[in-house]
């Protein structure tokens, strides 16, 4: 009779340990399955995103515009003077002579800049190349400079990335086609605790804050997303997964911790083993 009782307890212990092991294994497999990017990636090409690929200028943006030609004195008329000052010295006002001294333009509320000799230019909605071509064309058509080379560069265009990334923060847009993947790479990739199916891009469109959800597990969802190409002032938020959410409540509620249940199972096993030995 006693032997039958011990055999029963041993069977119960084995069953309990099997159930716990199965739960932990299934949870681990589910987590691993959610980690890889591009799970549906195939050799087939994806359609190009419908969103604007190039960054277009908006009111408040800062840009540098440099005009060069065969005649440096003539082209200097179209470059803003630079102003440099050291502590204890008077300021020195000079024409643009060095790449280290770049004066910038700020688009006003109407999206306009005041360009030397040409006057007001509405740059809102233009790309870098578009604005450079517009200025070059006007200089030529108005017989001001026939061989102008116009270069437009961004000064303060940034995006912000928050949440489950290695290095959250604010990052500079350093190219025309700056993508969501570029932003994640700048931030050091998503952490293992990131919910890859819930990456949000918050964007101001027509005076309203809108958001778009991107599933990083799906190549099709990434490459066809309207926010694949980022715009200035976009905010990217990476949601934490359930594992991270449970970890954040471990101190306040140990019942949500996986390690808590492992400890309980170990304790029960020890107690039942001691009972059987007796």
Q: Which of 122, 113, 111, 137 is closest to 65 using CA atoms? A: 113
Asked: is 159-240 a CATH 3.10.560.10 domain? The reply is yes
Distances (CA, A) of 172 to 96, 154, 202, 226, 231: 25, 9, 17, 20, 11
Residues in the chain: 278
CATH of the domain spanning 62-154: 3.30.1950.10
Half-sphere exposure of 238 (CA within 13 A, CB side): 26
pLDDT for residue 184: 96
Domain ranges of the chain: 2-33+244-277, 62-154, 159-240
What does the pLDDT look like over 187-231, one tens digit per residue?
Answer: 999 999 999 999 999 998 878 899 999 999 998 889 889 999 999
Regions of the chain where pLDDT drops below 50: 2, 23-32, 84-100, 252, 255
pLDDT for residue 65: 94
pLDDT for residue 100: 43
């Amino acid at each position: 009779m006693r032997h039958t009782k011990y055999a029963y307890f041993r069977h119960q212990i084995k069953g309990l340990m099997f159930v716990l092991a199965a739960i932990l294994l299934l949870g681990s497999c589910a987590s691993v399955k959610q980690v890889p990017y591009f799970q549906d990636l195939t050799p087939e090409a994806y359609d190009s995103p419908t969103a604007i690929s190039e960054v277009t200028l908006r009111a408040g943006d800062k840009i540098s515009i440099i005009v060069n030609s065969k005649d440096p004195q003539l082209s200097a008329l179209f470059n803003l003077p630079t102003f440099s000052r050291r502590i204890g010295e008077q300021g020195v006002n000079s024409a643009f002579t060095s790449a280290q001294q770049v004066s910038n333009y700020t688009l006003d509320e109407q999206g306009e800049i005041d360009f030397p000799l040409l006057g007001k230019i509405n740059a809102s909605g233009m790309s870098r190349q578009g604005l450079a071509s517009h200025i070059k064309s006007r200089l030529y058509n108005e017989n001001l400079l026939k061989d102008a080379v116009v270069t437009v560069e961004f000064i303060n265009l940034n995006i912000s990335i928050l949440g489950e990334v290695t290095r959250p923060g604010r990052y500079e847009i350093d190219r025309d086609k700056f993508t969501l993947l570029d932003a994640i790479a700048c931030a050091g990739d998503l952490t293992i605790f990131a919910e890859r199916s819930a990456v949000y891009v918050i964007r101001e469109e027509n005076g309203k804050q809108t958001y778009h959800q991107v599933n990083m597990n799906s190549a099709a969802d990434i490459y066809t997303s309207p926010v694949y190409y980022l715009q200035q002032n976009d905010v990217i938020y990476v949601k934490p997964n359930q594992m991270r959410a449970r970890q954040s409540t471990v101190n306040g509620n140990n019942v949500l911790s996986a390690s808590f249940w492992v400890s309980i199972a170990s304790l029960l096993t020890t107690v039942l083993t001691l009972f059987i030995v007796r």
